[in-house]
Every structure is written in C-alpha cells, then in structure tokens.
Amino acid sequence: MREFSARTRAANMARMAQGRFDVLVIGGGITGTGIALDAAARGLRVALVEKDDFASGTSGRSSRMIHGGLRYLERYDVGLVHEALRERKILRRLAPHLIRPLPVILPADSPREAARYRLGLTAYGLLTAGRNIGSHRPVSGEQVRAAAQGLRGTLRGYRYFECQGDDARLTIEVARAAQGYGALLANHVRARRLLGGARVTGAAVTDEISGERFEIRAAVTVNAAGVWADQVRALAAAGGGQRRLVPSKGVHLVFAPGAVRTTVALFVPSAAGDGHFVFIVPWEDRVYAGTTDTAYGGDLDCPGVGEPDRGYILDTVARDFPGVTGRDVVASWAGLRPLLSGGQGDAATYDLSRKHAIAEDPPGLLTIAGGKLTTYRAMAEDLVDRLARDRPAGRCRTRDIPLGLHGSARAASRLAVERARRLGLAPAAGTRLVRCYGDDWPEAIAMIGADRSLGEPAVDGLPVLRVELELARSREMAITGEDVFVRRTRLTTRDASVPVPAG
C-alpha cells in the first residue's frame, strides 16, 4: 500500500521549499489533483498545495453524479453532454469500484411531460451511442412503484442510467495517483502571496498546521482554486483584475434509513414550480436529495444550509414521498459551484454555462475555472496540453491510469467477501473495503486480522469500520479529525450528530 500520510506531507513540504518546479498547482479539489496527475504523468515536476483538505471545497459537496447532464440538452448544449458521456465511460473503466451505474427514473405526471422526457431521452440515447450503460425505456406505474415503494400515486415514467461515485474519495484517489507519478502534494498549506512581479514565479505559502512559512518556485503556477479563484488571482503583485466567477449554492439533505423508500434515483420537478429538477438518490442505506441553485454572496469557506434551502428540498421530497418530514433529515451539506459569470453580472446562475475556461492573467498564472466533477480529466488534459506547448512534455496518459483498482471490482468483491467472512465480518464489510480502497483491500483485511478490534464499527450503527480511521491517516493524508470524519469516511454526511474529534 502506498503511504500517503502526515509523514509524506512533511517530506513533500521540505522538498517543495528546496526544489524548482515546472508547475505549482494551487487547489486540491478534483480539478487541481487532476492537473497534478496529468502533468506528473507527462514527466513534469509538479507541486500542489491545498489550503484546507483535499475535496474540502466543492469537490466534496457535489451531487456525487458522474453524469452526462440530461438537463443541458434543454439548452442544446450537445458538446457538453457529449464530453461528459465520453468522460463517464473513461472514469468507469479507470475506477470501477468508485463509480457505479445508477438507474434513474423520470416519473411523468401527464402525457405532455411523458412526450417531453421521451424526446430528451431519445436525443440522450443518440449521444450515448457506444457509451451507454443501458438504453432508456418506458416503465409502467407498477414498475415505478416496485422500484420506489414510497412514491405517491401510480406515476408512469422513463428509466435510464447515470453513474454515482463518492466525490471526495475520487479526489483522494486522483491525489494518490499523482503522488505515485512523482508529484508532491500537501494539504493544509495555503498560498498567501504569488511570487514575482509582472510574471508570477510561484507562491509564498503557510503550513496551516505548524504556522511555518516557505516559498515554492515554479515556471508556471496553476490557479485551480474553484470558487476561490478570483481571490487567488488577487494574490499576485499585478492585482486581481475583473471578477470572473459567480458562485451558486447547492444544498443536499440526507434522509434516515427507511424514510424515503426507493431503490432507484428519481429526477423530479421541484415543488416550487420554478422549472428546476431535484435528484432523489439512494446512497447505501440512506437517501439524499438535492439540489438548490441560488446565487451566493456570503463567506466562501462556510456556505450553510438555511431554512429556505431546506424547505425547497424537503417540500419536493415530502410531496412525492407522503409522510416524510423534517424529522427524517439526518444530515445535509452545501457546496458552491464555480460558475463563469460570462459578463452577465448577477444573472440567474442556473442558466450559466457549466463549461470550463482557461486564462493566463497575469503572465505565469494560468487560471482554470468552471467545469464539472465528471469532466475533470478532460479539463486537466486541456490545461496540461497548453503547458506542454512551451516545454518538453509527453502526451496525456490519464485515459489509461487506473485510479486505485486494477481489474474488475466484482471479482475483487467476491474475494474480499470471502476473506471478510473468514474473519467473522459481514459480507457488506468486504464489499465496502473494495469500494473504498480498491487494490488495497487485502491490506485492510490483513490489518483487521492482526487486530480484530479494527473490524468493529467506528461509530455504532454505521458501516464505517475502525480500520478505515487508520487508513485515512496512513493511506490518505488525513491530518485532522474533520479530514477523517467528514471527507475520508463520510461519517458526518451519514449522521450529522456524530461528534468530530479535534486534531
């Protein structure tokens, strides 16, 4: 098992302070880690700093869908859908344990709605040709009820497929793969000033754990700071220039086991009647629902779930699943989309583009903004292609770099279930270890074999095992209790009342 720990972090920081890099990446979300992996795999010398934790920004707060974006077809954004479907297929191959097919039902209330969905799904089907997981098909009211037992009435609808994956765990696997190709990564290191005059030549950074300060020198600095990208640009001596991002907030609510009875995801119109849709998605023994999409002007570090956000989602879920109330909500999260303003000021962010853009301003600082979790690999390829124009670098290799698992997830799960059973663990524990740790599941099982207490639940009633708290620190550079509980194991998005240990 590759060590990626506090010790790795300390060694990385020492080397960052001494070396000179081809690329310094600021931001350890999916975009920044994706760029670090792509650049390192092409032979470039890469450093990456993240002010908080990997995936602590938007990349740990998404809807967790690796999807083509059916709704973008309403805006005839065929290019975006096409790219996302291609990337979905690549990611399923690279990380089959993390990214799994998810059946989705679009319930239709009226013949008009049914005709609209049929048209959209037919276009989607044409675009998915060769990349499809299963073709869409009409489903009867009875079939809908069998899949979503708690759903009101006897709605007919259409079924199609998307994929689901844990966004934070995908980000950490990409970060680990980048380190495997020689990139140096450190979380809890903040870029606080950009070096250089007219041209940016790196960054002055602070280790947020020890308070220590040092400088990292690089030929090119990449600003992959998501919704913070305007702030990072403003750290340059040349100043920040025009504001380019309009953050938009999206919240999700998590419902207690059994409260929202469905085994498929549902994509339903919001109860607010604003033309937006809400995803209701099964996740292990729970269901989460989201999202809102509202322009946001508050503190970027702590977007909260307010009463209006909560009401918007709850009203939709309660309309479709009679009997569900606020008491069924066990956790929630809020994230900010880094949408490009497109010069439209405060225009409704729902209609703004989800495409990405790259700009060099000032010289030496490449800012990448926008995009989706699903398309991170293509965004990284685009950016590193641009870097490669000015320096010797190989071709993009990320289409063929596995993200934590070589081979079939099903075959690994069969073996892991058997090995788990021999240790007296439930079959679900074996499956879970493969889904979370890919190729490293045998080491996880061996750790439990050596210390049986590691096979016990980390928190009573939740599926996370104690061995995972150790793996978070030794395998995944978790430094604080929050890193472990919020992002590596997702204990707090299962149940918000789980206390997060300090340190």
Ligand X SMILES: Cc1cc2nc3c(=O)[nH]c(=O)nc-3n(C[C@H](O)[C@H](O)[C@H](O)COP(=O)(O)OP(=O)(O)OC[C@H]3O[C@@H](n4cnc5c(N)ncnc54)[C@H](O)[C@@H]3O)c2cc1C
* Interface positions with ligand X (CB under 6 A): 26-32, 49-52, 56-59, 61-65, 67, 190-191, 224-228, 232, 250, 291, 335-338, 371-374
Q: Judged by CB, which is closer to ligand X: 227, or 477?
A: 227
Q: Judged by CB, which is closer to ligand X: 237, or 411?
A: 237
Residue 472 in tokens: 């978070």
**The residue type at 387:** L
Question: Shortest approach of ligand X to residue 145 CB, angstroms?
Answer: 26
Strand partners, 158: 106, 138
Return the HEC string of 190-258: EEEEECCCCCCCEEEEEECCCCCEEEEEEEEEEECCHHHHHHHHCCCCCCCCCCCEEEEEEEEEEECCC
Question: Shortest approach of ligand X to residue 443 CB, angstroms?
Answer: 28
Q: Judged by CB, which is closer to ligand X: 67, or 435?
A: 67
Question: Shortest approach of ligand X to residue 164 CB, angstroms?
Answer: 9
Q: Judged by CB, which is closer to ligand X: 1, or 133?
A: 133
Q: Judged by CB, which is closer to ligand X: 365, or 454?
A: 365
Q: Judged by CB, which is closer to ligand X: 177, or 454?
A: 177
Question: Shortest approach of ligand X to residue 378 CB, angstroms?
Answer: 11
Q: Judged by CB, which is closer to ligand X: 44, or 49?
A: 49
- Measuring CA to CA, how many Å separate 408 from each of 91, 95, 139, 172, 454? 13, 9, 31, 20, 26
Question: Shortest approach of ligand X to residue 3 CB, angstroms?
Answer: 22
Q: Judged by CB, which is closer to ligand X: 226, or 404?
A: 226
Q: Judged by CB, which is closer to ligand X: 64, or 286?
A: 64
Question: Shortest approach of ligand X to residue 492 CB, angstroms?
Answer: 17
**208 in Cβ contact with 188 (< 8 Å):** yes
Question: Shortest approach of ligand X to residue 237 CB, angstroms?
Answer: 16
Is 174 in a helix, a strand, or coil?
helix
Residue of 488, 491, 494 whose CA lies nearest to 60:
488
- Pair type for strands 189-194 and 156-165: unpaired
Is 162 in a helix, a strand, or coil?
strand
CA gap 387, 393 in Å, rounded: 9
**472 in Cβ contact with 55 (< 8 Å):** no
Helix 78-94 crosses helix 111-127 at what angle (to 10 degrees)? 60
Question: Shortest approach of ligand X to residue 279 CB, angstroms?
Answer: 8
Question: Shortest approach of ligand X to residue 68 CB, angstroms?
Answer: 10
CA gap 68, 384 in Å, rounded: 23
CA gap 437, 272 in Å, rounded: 40
Is 424 in a helix, a strand, or coil?
coil
Q: Is the peptide bond before 362 cis (omega within 30 degrees of 0)?
A: yes
